[in-house]
Homo-oligomer: A and B are copies of this chain.
């Protein structure tokens, strides 16, 4: 069976785009990925488009806008893992022998969907009594502090790091470095989390072109990066019992990716992880087995997760710094992985990287219903 290669990548600036919509953004990302791959766009055979709140047949509109209407296309939704799921489904179409060249797009125009923060669905009884996303992550932060002795100042180092990375990323939503004091003095959201602990409402899109061995041989010109694993899991009571400080769902999804790729967590050179809140980055890197349970805040303090550290985390700026256009996020992570692995990441380039990992987790923060987790491993 064929391997899957990421050959072209593109993404829009993340931020507020009052003059365009999710279709425009998706089309722009797609065209950039085509240009990056250096291909005739007419060789693209199929498309998968991930988004959450953009309504019916958004993907078809994107294709029509760029003159690629007519392709087989599925819109996919998996909450914050929607974009990553689009990549996974694209990779399955390749592996099934159905297609040789497939584009996966993630897009979201979130500023027109929510005026302030992301509002929970009115049918969600837990959110109605306060278990909103910030509420749940605030509880998880409190519990982590209690269990492992993490201080509020240590937690603040995560947005400080990610916004420093974002400042070096011309496509990031936020381009300004911040200090621990900035985090601690920012507006309270859900105690102990403050504004700088939370990812923003962002518009943006990203696209990647994936190819079979045959197509990559013909078109990649040595610029392809192998998608060694792309795994997807939903939350369940078996893998996700009552712990607030450990994510068995993240581990189950990662374990499968490690097995499929033959890459262990100790071989991962850097990662983009789903830091929807500062505490989320802690839970994710530990759940992925990249850092020991209860150790990450101290590792961040020692600079280990910096771009020049032992194991850089979220060099793009992550969700906290680069921004979080739900559907766009998972695809943008893979764009960052490819740019880093090709040595094209500019001021935020990590030296000598060969293996990158991307992790998304969407849906409910705790509990069995509605969570979707993805892990993708790319090898140069």
Chain A residues packing against B (C-beta within 8 Å): 1, 52, 55-57, 59-61, 63-64, 69-79, 85, 88-89, 92-93, 95-98, 121, 123, 231-239, 252, 362-364, 368-372
Contact between A77 and B75, CB atoms less than 8 A apart: yes
**Contact A56 B74, CB 8 Å, known A95-B98, A234-B63:** no
Given A73-B234, A93-B96, list of 15 further CB < 8 A pairs?
A: A1-B97, A52-B56, A57-B78, A57-B362, A57-B364, A57-B372, A59-B234, A60-B235, A64-B236, A70-B233, A70-B236, A72-B234, A74-B78, A75-B77, A92-B96
8 pairs from A and B in contact (CB 8 Å cutoff): A56-B77, A57-B370, A57-B371, A60-B372, A64-B235, A71-B234, A75-B78, A92-B96
| Complex Cα–Cα for A73 and B92 (A) | 13
Min C-beta distance of A20 to chain B, whole Å = 13
In the bound assembly, the distance between CA atoms of A370 and B73 in angstroms comes to 10
In the bound complex, residues from chain B placing their C-beta under 8 Å from that of A72 are 231-234
Contacts of A235 in B (CB 8 A): 60, 64, 69-70
B234 lies within 8 A of A56 (CB): no
Q: Which residues does chain B contribute within 8 Å of A237, judged by CB atoms?
A: 69
B residues less than 8 Å from A98 (CB atoms): 92, 95
In the bound complex, what is the Cα–Cα distance between A180 and B96 (angstroms)? 48
Q: Do the beta carbons of B73 and A76 come within 8 Å of each other?
A: no
Contacts of A236 in B (CB 8 A): 63-64, 69-70
Q: When the two chains form their complex, are residues A56 and B93 in contact, meaning their CB atoms are under 8 A apart?
A: no
Residues in B neighbouring A74, C-beta threshold 8 A: 76-78, 85, 88-89, 232
Counting every copy of the chain, the complex holds 2
By a CB distance below 8 angstroms, the chain B residues around A369 are 57, 60-61, 64, 69
> Given A76-B75, A232-B73, A363 and B57 touching (CB < 8 A)?
yes
What residue in chain B is nearest A52 (Cβ atoms)? B56
How far is it, in angstroms, between the C-alpha of A64 and the C-alpha of B74 when the chains are bound? 24
Question: Quick one: closest B residue to A53, CB to CB?
Answer: B56
Q: Which residues of B contact A364 (CB under 8 A)?
A: 57
Kindly provide the distance from the CB of A45 to the nearest chain B CB, expressed in whole angstroms. Answer: 11
A92-B92, A95-B98 in contact; A372/B73 too (CB < 8 A)? yes
Q: Shortest beta-carbon distance, A111 to chain B, in Å?
A: 15
- Residue numbers in B under 8 Å from A73 (CB-CB): 78, 232, 234, 372
Which residues from chain B contact A362 at a C-beta distance below 8 Å?
57
Determine how close the nearest CB of chain B comes to the CB of A376; give it in whole angstroms: 13
Nearest 3 pairs of A and B residues by beta carbon: A70-B236, A69-B236, A57-B370
